[in-house]
Amino acid sequence: MVRKTAFTGLLVALALLATGPGVLAQEVANGPSTATVLTMITATASQNLNFGQIYGGTPKTMGYNQDDSSAIFTVTGQPSAGINLELFLPEYLSLANGSARMPVIFSTTDAAIDTTTVTPSTVGAGNGWINRNPHSLPAAVIGSGGTTKLYLGGKVVPSVDQKAGSYSGDIVLSVSYTGS
Amino acid sequence: MVASTQKLIRISAFVALLTGMAIPRSAVAQDVAVGQAEAVVLTVVSVTSSASLDFGDVLQGVPTSIANNNASAAIFEIAGETDAGVDLYLLLPQQMHLADNSDRMPIIFSSTDASIDTTGAGDPPGMAGGKGWQNVNPNSLPTAVTIGSAGTDLYLGGTTVPSPNQKAGAYAADVVLTVSYNGQ
């Protein structure tokens, strides 16, 4: 009987010990945890860089300010968010069957970044960045309207005996948020 | 022990919440677009003199004319990209010479001594107005010429004016045609 009473008392004591700290030795505070999910960033090739008809032996230049012929890439995303732009530019344009290729050159002023989405022919310094190096584009932002455009020109250099036909080469634009 | 367990559960839930919130952001922070640069290289333009302007036998003191639609008219054949615009320029002689240059004979090209045939027929007698430009000035050729699907030909006539004491012999001179694409 004594042992039973003692055991019972022990259990009670243990129970008290288990509940005691919960009542006297802890506290709970709630603080907010927040995060903002940005609008998804997208890049689209809206228009190809089109040199048109080329004559053998005669180089042809197309500026980034040609409404119908400049390359146009459209980037959409979170307004005013910082973005990185990187272009992967071809060194040659090739015939579809690969039987001939023609050098293509991009100068240090062949690109413009337009955050106000005007047009290639009207973009100025106040609309973003002009006369920029497409091999090393500046850190940019998504325009306040949620769109930024990249305009690109270049130059083809056909040889005197350049094989006739339609030439093309891929231009790849990679865009990403900077977090700023 | 119950409190510790509760605290552990709260911490675990908080971590799970943060983890769950981070995943969507990294999935939409980058994109790639592929465009193209493109160009069409035209067929090389070429020009060939396929027939000389042949006055044949001429008599001293008697001018001799060959019309641009005569079988003896000069023929220049132009080949290249079909429908491409070309500029044509003729460099015409003022005199023909003996091979040893011991005498020379005037040659004249009138304002109607050339025709441009966009059918590429190579047939001066068969030339008609509907085939291109007929009886035009070889010193100022038309500017809207294009290359026909079978090529374009230029026919040229002229007049030689031998003097009464013109030295006998075979006279010749160069007629030069320059052709270039004009981007039209």
> Does A140 touch chain B if contact means CB atoms closer than 8 Å?
no
**Residue B106, C-beta contacts closer than 8 angstroms, at least 6 positions apart:** B94, B95, B96, B160, B161
d(CA A51, CA A61): 8
User: Taking 80 as the threshold, does the pLDDT of residue B128 lie above it?
Assistant: yes
User: Looking at CA atoms only, how far is residue A2 from chain B in angstroms?
Assistant: 29
Chain A partners within 8 Å of B40 (Cβ): 52-54, 165-167
**Is residue B151 classed as helix, strand or coil in its secondary structure?**
strand
d(CA B46, CA B38): 25
> Does A24 touch chain B if contact means CB atoms closer than 8 Å?
no
Range name among A35-44, B52-61, B71-80, B117-126 with the lowest pLDDT average: A35-44
d(CA B89, CA B114): 12
Please give the ipTM for the structure prediction.
Answer: 0.79
pLDDT band at A4 (very low <50, low <70, confident <90, very high): low
User: Taking 50 as the threshold, does the pLDDT of residue B11 lie above it?
Assistant: no
Per residue in A5-24, pLDDT tens?
A: 445 545 544 544 444 444 56
d(CA A1, CA A170): 93
Architecture of domain A42-177: Sandwich (2.60)
- Is B46-181 a domain of CATH 1.10.10? no
Contact B14 A33 (CB under 8 A): yes
Q: How far is CA B52 from CA A134, B42, B74, B76, in A?
A: 55, 29, 5, 9
pLDDT value at residue B41: 94
Preferred mutation among A19, A34, A39, A53 to probe B, highest tally of B CBs within 10 A = A53
Q: Give the phi and the psi of residue A2 in degrees, each rounded to 5.
A: -60, -45
Per residue in B145-164, pLDDT tens?
A: 999 999 999 999 999 999 99
The conformational region for residue A131 under phi > 0 = left, psi -120 to 50 = alpha, else beta, is left
Q: What is the mean pLDDT of residues A115-131?
A: 95
Q: What is the CA radius of gyration of chain A?
A: 32
Q: Is the pTM of this model over 0.90?
A: no
Preferred mutation among B14, B26, B31 to probe A, highest tally of A CBs within 10 A = B31
Contact A37 B24 (CB under 8 A): yes
> Does A113 touch chain B if contact means CB atoms closer than 8 Å?
no
B interface residues, A as partner, C-beta within 8 Å:
1-3, 7, 14, 17-18, 21-22, 24-25, 28-45, 81, 84, 181, 183
Domain boundaries, chain B: 46-181
pLDDT value at residue A30: 84
pLDDT value at residue B184: 74
Chain B partners within 8 Å of A110 (Cβ): none
User: Looking at CA atoms only, how far is residue A146 from chain B in angstroms?
Assistant: 14
Q: What is the DSSP string of B37-84?
A: EEEEEPPPPEEEEEE-----S--TT--EEE-TTSTTSEEEEEESSTT-
How open is the CA angle B118-B122-B124, to the nearest 5 degrees?
95
How open is the CA angle A135-A140-A145, to the nearest 5 degrees?
135
pLDDT value at residue B159: 98
